[in-house]
Copies of this chain bind each other. A is one copy, B any other.
Amino acid sequence: MAAAAPPPPPAPAPSAPTGIPDSDNTPVGYPIFSRIRLATPADVPHIHKLIHQMAVFERLTDLFSATEASLSDTLFNFPPFQSFTVFLLEVSSSPIPQILSSDFAPIERILHYDHPLVDPEAETFRSGGADVSVAGFVLFFPNYSTFLGKPGFYVEDLFVRECYRRKGFGRMLLTAVAVQAVKMGYGRVEWVVLDWNVNAIKFYEEMGAKVLPEWRICRLTGPDLEAYRNVDAI
């Protein structure tokens, strides 16, 4: 997967529709307690399932060969933000037990809805606390701009499970990456989008991104890459 999955289209800002400010944590109607935290090796089974759902959503399961083992072997080998990094989105109908993290302070938001949110896969994506489920993720890593002479972040994947779409969670995950980039003094955040996905493009443009019309991705993979096994190819 080379790209951010199409995100949910623009959604209402995640604030209480009653006008009660977020800082007042009194649930109104049906609350969803949400949290973005750094993923850990223990989250690999959930991450693997989310990636598979993304492949199904994009009808690209023929390209899907990741296993829990391959993810475990290749993610989490370096400190967060210095290499491949995963933010996990967790949701619950009750307050999520706090965790401490020296690398990244979890971002917590409470959203309020008129109707209860039904998650048919809540058990499959159970995470930690009794009522906490993993709802989505974003995987990103440093890239580099030689013109700016400094790093940025490239967002490889952004995915929110179906029953949590159109609620602002995609925006929340992507914003978390942008906030982290600014915090680290990075020069830009980049990702890719399919040119026909007008909803996604509109959503990204509203977030401040520019779509570069002229650049195309070149990919060397599979047997074409394997042909370079021998240095004598040079």
Residue ranges of A at the interface with B (Cβ–Cβ < 8 Å)? 1-4, 36, 51, 54-55, 60, 63-67, 70-71, 73-75, 78, 82-84, 107, 109, 139, 141-152, 154, 156-157, 172, 175-176, 178-179, 181-183, 187-196, 201, 204, 207-222, 224-231, 233-234
Contacts and interface: CB of A to CB of B under 8 A. Distances in A.
B227 A54 contact: no
Considering the complex of A and B, which 7 residue pairs feature the smallest CB-CB distances, nearest first? A66-B149, A208-B224, A70-B149, A188-B221, A178-B228, A1-B147, A209-B218
Contact of A83 (B66, B83, B218, B229): B83
Nearest to A72: B149
Nearest to A207: B220
A208 B219 CA distance: 8
Given A187-B221, A188-B219, A234-B172, A139 B149 contact: no
A36 to B, nearest CB: 8
Copies of this chain in its oligomeric complex? 2
- The A contact surface, by secondary structure, is mixed
A175 B234 contact: yes
Given A139-B144, A156-B146, A216 B211 contact: yes
A137 to B, nearest CB: 9
A151 to B, nearest CB: 6
Contacts of A182: 225-226, 228-229
B145 A2 contact: yes
B220 A74 contact: no
A213 B216 CA distance: 7
Nearest to A155: B218
